[in-house]
Amino acid sequence: MIMRSEKMTNTDLNKIYCGDCNKVLKDIPSNSVDLVITSPPYFQQREYGSGNGIGNEKKVDESNEYYFNKDAFMEYRDKYMNGSKKTAGNDIGKKYFELIEKSNLSPENKEQARKELYEVIREVKEGKLESFRMKIRGIHALPYGGQAGGRLTQIETKGFTIIKIYGNSIRKDVIESTVETIKGNVHPAVYPEFLVQELIKLLTKENDTVLDPFLGSGTTAVVAKRLKRNYIGIEIHSEYIEYAKQRLAEVPSYTLDLFI
């Protein structure tokens, strides 16, 4: 049990609390935690040791206080996952044609701007581009930087530049990890230590406090201890707590980072 106070004490840290996280969290003072990392229960995908509780509802609607906004998710899925993206209408680029006419570009530059604008609009309608932006000298703010062939140079030489937006996903912020198995594990869904390690290193410093309200087999606490962070774990199933304590006892006082 956490003693109610204005702030966490050292005796409250580096412990696993058995109970419903909705109740235990209310005893944790504000501004006591630097990072929350968790893997919430899967909906009807895992058996966590009891026939009730989060994840065992017959319908998502039975636990509106926990699950995501279903309507918002379905709208997202219909729009992006099923390929029903917004199509380019006939008015695409209309404002840029008007701005070209209002600009102080030379007749030759205006003609070139219209020609390139027609071309980029065609690429959008054919699905080769997601969208585009156009900057015109004397109308839009100049871009920063600029080298030969860059946007600033294009504006200086021909009076405009067109920025093509391809809509490709950015992959460099995705943490990739191999599937991990732990000998003797009693929990049905353990996530990799490497994944937790990268998040803790990125978002905290030594002696910060990391909280996991669905601690499970203890991975978050294990990695936090290894990286010299404090941890607070909450788990409703006592058998998982005992297993997590075993894992924590095996963490040496000094360990190296994991690599994959």
Give strand pairing partners of 162.
134
Higher-confidence residue of 64 and 136: namely 136
CB 218 within 8 A of CB 244: yes
Percent of the chain with pLDDT over 90: 35
Q: How far is it, in rounded angstroms, from Cα 4 to Cα 228?
A: 25
For residue 180, what pLDDT band results from cuts at 50, 70 and 90? low
Interval 237-253 mean pLDDT: 88
DSSP 24: H
C-alpha closest to that of 166 among 122, 129, 116, 119: 129
Q: How far is it, in rounded angstroms, from Cα 10 to Cα 96?
A: 62
Global model pTM greater than 0.75: no
Radius of gyration for the alpha carbons in the chain, expressed in angstroms and rounded: 27
CB 126 within 8 A of CB 94: no
The pair of structure tokens assigned to 194 is 């490497």
Interval 204-218 mean pLDDT: 92
C-alpha closest to that of 160 among 102, 218, 203: 102
- What pLDDT does residue 105 have? 94
Domains along the sequence of the chain with CATH: 15-39+191-249 (3.40.50.150), 94-165 (no CATH)
Q: How far is it, in rounded angstroms, from Cα 109 to Cα 112?
A: 5
Residue linked to tokens 């279903």: 70
- What pLDDT does residue 150 have? 77
For residue 45, what pLDDT band results from cuts at 50, 70 and 90? low
Q: Please report which helix (H) or strand (E) contains residue 220, including its range.
A: helix 219-226
The pair of structure tokens assigned to 148 is 């030969």
Q: How far is it, in rounded angstroms, from Cα 206 to Cα 202?
A: 11
The pair of structure tokens assigned to 255 is 């360990």
Q: How far is it, in rounded angstroms, from Cα 224 to Cα 38?
A: 12
